[in-house]
Amino acid sequence: MSVLSAVLLFASTLAGLASETAQPLVPVPSGAEVWLQEERSDRIPGLGLVQRYRFVMPSLAARVPPVDETTFDDVVPPDMLDEHLEAPLTPEEQAELDELLGGFSIEAVPEVDQGETLPPEPEAAPLPSELSPPDPGPDPAPGDAGTDMAAEPDWIEDESPLPAAPDILMQDPIHRDIVWLCENFVLPRIAHLEQLPAQVVISLASAPGPFGSFDPDIVQIFEGFSIPASRSHCVWEPL
């Protein structure tokens, strides 16, 4: 390759990078740099019109917690794996087990002849629903000390926070940014469409790439929304 060809190739590469980064930025609540890479309209059989908005957030990889790729076998001790439990005990392990049991042995249940009568089974305890309600006793006289206010159980005073709802747990770390993009960027564009989309899909990627491709070095997040007939807001729907 000549020097002139190398210079032209380098210049074209810089021009391509400049065209990608020259996209107008979209402000989001997190303050991250976001720009629109592509807008697509697809018709899916059985679903209808699907509007796709593919955004790029270069800092996405740093904002999403990394996935722990440690396998289960690397975490669980070898003596707790099924392969180890299925192996028979060695004579040394059997002797150690017998010593721990201290002479305790489990005998097999003797077989019962057909003509032998089994002892009657003990009577089962009554169920709580079969018990008669307790006697409430006489009503306390008004004004008695300690009877004006019933003592509350301890569990009523426990105001520990409840776990997050399932829909909250399914949201990604930058869910607010994607909702903001739907309500402030997508809705104004949908208002001019003749047909209301059956679904809106917003994606964020850490780097631009062709639609439908998979790159392990690029972090991608997808969120789905439905738009009511009024086109006034976005309804988040987990994909």
Residues 104, 98: Cα–Cα separation, whole Å: 8
Q: What was the pLDDT predicted at 94?
A: 82
CB distance 203 to 45 below 8 Å: no
Residues 113, 116: Cα–Cα separation, whole Å: 5
Residue 181 burial (C-beta neighbours within 10 Å; 0-12, 13-18, 19+)? buried
CA distances from 182 to 7, 30, 176, 231 (A): 42, 15, 10, 11
pLDDT over 70 (residue 104): no
Average pLDDT value over all residues in the chain? 75
Q: What was the pLDDT predicted at 171?
A: 61
CB distance 161 to 12 below 8 Å: no
The torsion of the CA quartet 72, 75, 81, 84, rounded to 10 degrees, works out to 130
Q: What was the pLDDT predicted at 31?
A: 93
Per-range mean pLDDT, top range of 36-40, 112-116, 154-158 = 36-40
Q: What was the pLDDT predicted at 86?
A: 59
